[in-house]
Amino acid sequence: MPPLTLPAVLTPSLLSSIRAHPHLPQHTWYFIAGVTLSVLNRPDEIPKVFSYALEHGVDAAHDKELGQKELAHAEQLRIARKLRESLVKSAAIVGLPKTINALLSLKSATPPSLHDEPMAYSPSARIVEVYDMPSSQILQRGQRFFDKVYGKVSKRVMGQMDRSGTEDLGVVARLMYGYLLSNTRVLSPMESSFVLLAGLIPQDVNPQLKGHLKGALNNGATVEEVRAVREIVIRICEASGMKKLPDDAPQGWGWRGEVANL
């Protein structure tokens, strides 16, 4: 039996329009797209995003200066690392199996010169944090990040998880924020919030999405930037077949209500 061929999600025109969105900060469109595709279980499309970013540059401002020239190696490495880090961070809300498939798919399209190999330099330094730093220091950093995202309701949100029927939920959240999300060596706090938005929107989880829309503002994004992230994620979701489900639909793949917005 021949392997199943899935319909394409990203067309050249969709990639071009996402990259040229006027309200997206530089160096964000490609990792937002990559995380969205991972959530949608389309890791096969991630190499397309990576190749397009390497070929065309990080945004429309590069068009004139790039021309037919290849991106400098340092810029290529920055793109590769940001895309990898976004997928790593997305594990906190997407799940490890999809993250594994996404990263392995990306690796298949990545030249060896753009890999970060084991026992070599790690731009995130997580290996150092795990083995050589006190866990209390990492968990405190995670709590500060959590408090910044949720602002004045942070204690209430964490309290809900601690009292969810098992305090282990709060422990898991603290670990995720400490060791994954609050590490900002590769992605800034604002960019990390964009990862969370890209991971939440396709999952139809408005209660969590609402908090992280505001959290992105707390991490330095503008209203226009947050709405731009929401817009391009929805466009990719719709290209994959997601849609707003009618009120009387007993089942289906899509959103049961309007996607939360600012």
Tokens, residue 74: 């340092």
Q: What is the pLDDT of residue 60?
A: 66
Residue 82 belongs to a domain: yes
Q: What is the pLDDT of residue 62?
A: 59
Q: What angle do CA 249, 40, 10 make, to 5 degrees?
A: 110
243-244/254-255 β-pairing: parallel
Domain of residue 105: give its range. Answer: 7-117+194-203+222-244+252-262
Residue 138 belongs to a domain: no
Q: What is the pLDDT of residue 63?
A: 57
Mean pLDDT per 10-residue interval, the chain, length 262 residues: 76 96 95 98 97 87 57 94 98 96 97 90 93 96 98 96 96 97 98 98 96 98 98 97 86 88 94
Residue 96 belongs to a domain: yes
Q: What is the pLDDT of residue 83?
A: 98
Spatial distance between the Cα atoms of 188 and 194, rounded to a whole number of angstroms: 10
Residue 142 belongs to a domain: no
Note whether 74 and 43 are within 8 A (CB): no
Note whether 101 and 49 are within 8 A (CB): no
**0.85 surpassed by pTM:** yes
Q: What is the pLDDT of residue 66?
A: 52
Residue 151 belongs to a domain: no
Q: What is the pLDDT of residue 117?
A: 86
Spatial distance between the Cα atoms of 239 and 205, rounded to a whole number of angstroms: 19
Closest CA to 236 of 55, 91, 29, 92: 29
Tokens, residue 231: 């817009």
Q: What is the pLDDT of residue 248?
A: 79
Tokens, residue 83: 């895309």
Residue 20 belongs to a domain: yes
Residue 81 belongs to a domain: yes
Residue 174 belongs to a domain: no
Q: What is the pLDDT of residue 25?
A: 93
Q: Tell me the one-letter amino acid at 191.
A: E
Overall domain count for the chain: 1
